[in-house]
Structure 1
Amino acid sequence: MDTATVGRFEANRDRLASIAYRLLGSAADAEDVVQESFIRWQAADRTHIKVPEAWLTKVVSNLSVDRLRSAKERHERAVGAWLPEPLLDGDPMLGPADTAVQRESVTLAMLTLMERLSPMERAVYVLREAFSHSHGEVAEILDITESASQQHALRARRHLASERTATEVDADSARRIVEAFVAASASGRTEPLVSLLADDVTAVSDGAGLSAKLLHFAGAKKVSAMLRAGFKPTRAKHELLGGTPSVFAGTVNGSPAMIVGFEDRVVGVVVLDVVGDEITTVRGMASQARLHRVSEEWRRRDHGPPIIESW
């Protein structure tokens, strides 16, 4: 394959990855789909491809839908161990962020909600709302009628509209929220932490990959107890990590996040959904299978000073 042909694909790589990520909620799966699309691009008779960008969008979208429909994928998402894979803000895989809808479509909250949609509803919603394709273009990409595209979009919006969405926050606000959250969680006292949490707050954790299923907690008292236990330093935790990590404030998928770093890798991420001035959802991820891309991005960046130097 000549340099120009490879370059044409590479010019589209980030956009294709961001489509696949929104559809699949997994950076690893998105990378697999993009790589498969590159293989198909190599094998295609490109003399018959009039608009490469449209052709590649079609391939990536349909590969992602096929993966969502696969029996293996449905089983893995149904057994209770699936969470969206977190990405640091600024990661090109997050894609366009010019509008509120585009920014919301890549939050962990929305990626989780989109699990309720059928694969076709999810694809139409992503292509229409996050990438601004017309219904005619969506129909062409997904091999459906324009009327079907409109119906899938309507159903998707209805499914998603009734759910509470998080408040958008800027980087400075995110840092203040995380600093308050870390201080309250590490204080060892219940009252400061409960004051930050909504009464019906929920929390989910992957248990650092040690549990076959996700761990769920509901209510301010139970969530605060879980967080205080999680923040309590122990010899076992330090032995598991291989040392003493530091705690940083950051933004992950557009939401305030606590990032636990050790040497040149991320060993934990806690993402907060905030509505008004209350934390409504806490998502904790420490399984290294979920943090591979976050760690890659982390190594490329200046982290700034930690909130806690040695945890």
Structure 2
Amino acid sequence: MNASEDKLAVERLYREYKPLLTSIAYRMLGSMSEAEDAVQDVFVSFSRLRGAEIEHPKAYLVKMVANRALNMMKAAPRRRESYPGPWLPEPIIEADDPHAPLGQLMRRERLGYALLVLLQTCTPPERAVFVLRESFGYDYADIAAMLDKSAAACRKIFSRASAKIGHPQREAAEEDASDPAMDRFVRSFADALESGRAEAFVHLLADDAMLLSDGGGIVRAALNPIEGRARIAAFFVGIAGKGALAGRWHRVRISGQRGLLLERDGLPPIAFALAPDDRLDMVREIYLVSNPHKLTRIAR
């Protein structure tokens, strides 16, 4: 195969596998911009290898992007040490349309925004193994080959990650809550905040509920987690009184799960995602993202 044919073949592989590779990297990194950088770097390296001649290009590319994301994750803690306040994953926001392609993809892979947040509590190897196993269905032998570990080691890593996340109970709860329960939470939350009566939502909060707010040091946000239903209600009453919740509310999909987007004139938007408790009858956590650098993925 000559250089021109090889280039065309690599471009074809890029078009075919970019969505899959980007999806894997996004789940591992929690950042779409970093995921896109990882995939771009992988294809630059792949093209230098005369990648079109590799016997199993898909497996090879998945291995490359997983390891590239692992290397990037190992550098992330140093960057986040100086991050102002809680660091939350970059949300991908689409209209709440059951036929929207990203929403379908995220729900099919059973990894919504709440689980994406929980993955940040895992070590880089735990996150890599969990994503490859749970979201993409790779068997332990394949994962072992990708990460240069034994299959037995990958099983242990997956078990540790599952214990941290609360899988499978928590994952099953969030999957089951994707429609009726989450719709009730989102509708009540939107009604309460739109009407200026934040206290109307308090009865849906668990006693030990927590709110995490990510403004990135660009937009004013709570620098520490807010714990307890009374303190969360007071927080919303306070910011509503300052006009911070005035604008246009939209029900959306946030990285595949139901949530809310507040668009404000002259100010950055705010994305809200909710996580239910294990019984699906209370809200356990609220994630509030107002960092404008993380709110560029809003599909109109």
TM-score, reference length from structure 2: 0.82
CA, structure 1 residues 115+34, in 2 after alignment: closer, same or farther (shift >3 Å)? same
Aligned pair 1:66/2:71, yes or no? Answer: yes
What is the match of residue 125 of structure 1? 130
Which residues in structure 2 correspond to 1:299-310 (within 5 Å)?
299=300
Alpha-carbon distance in structure 1 between the residues aligned to 2:259 and 2:104 = 16
- Quote the offset at 1:185 in angstroms: 2.8
1:64 positional shift:
0.3
RMSD across aligned positions (CA): 2.9
Aligned residue number for residue 207 of structure 2: 199
Question: Structure 1: which 5+ runs fail to align?
Answer: 239-243, 300-311
Deviates more, 1:109-118 or 1:187-196: 187-196
Structure 2: stretches of 5+ with no match in the other structure: 95-99
Q: Deviations over 1:197-245 (max 9, x none)?
A: 11111101124733597442111111011112233463xx59xxxxx73
Q: Distance in 2 between matches of 1:270 and 1:47?
A: 43
- Equivalent in the alignment of 2:177: 169
The one-character-per-residue Cα deviations of 1:236-283 (angstroms, maximum 9, x if unpaired) are x59xxxxx73111122134331111358x9711111112323222111
Picking from 10, 19, 40, the partner of 1:14 is 19
- Matched to 1:74, the amino acid is P
- Tell me the equivalent position of 2:97: none
Shift of 1:55: 1.0
- Match of 1:204, SS state, is strand
Q: Does 1:159 align with 2:164?
A: yes
Q: Say if 1:260 and 1:269, in contact at 8 Å, map to a contact too.
A: yes
**Are residues 154 and 185 of structure 1, via their aligned partners in 2, closer, same or farther at CA, if it must alter by over 3 Å?**
same
Residues 109 and 20 (structure 1 numbering): CA distance in 2 closer, same or farther, change over 3 Å? same
Give per-residue Cα distances to partners, 1:164-183, cap 9 Å, x unaligned.
Answer: 55543345764443232122
Greater Cα offset, 89-98 or 9-18: 89-98
1:172–1:262 distance in 2 versus 1, CA, 3 Å? farther
AA partner of residue 295 (structure 2): L
Residue 208 of structure 2 aligns to a residue in which SS?
strand
In structure 2, relative to structure 1, the CA distance for the partners of 1:178 and 1:160 (3 Å cut) is closer
CA distance in 1, matches of 2:222, 2:264: 25
Q: What letter is aligned with 1:76? A: R
CA contact (8 A) 2:133 2:143 kept: yes
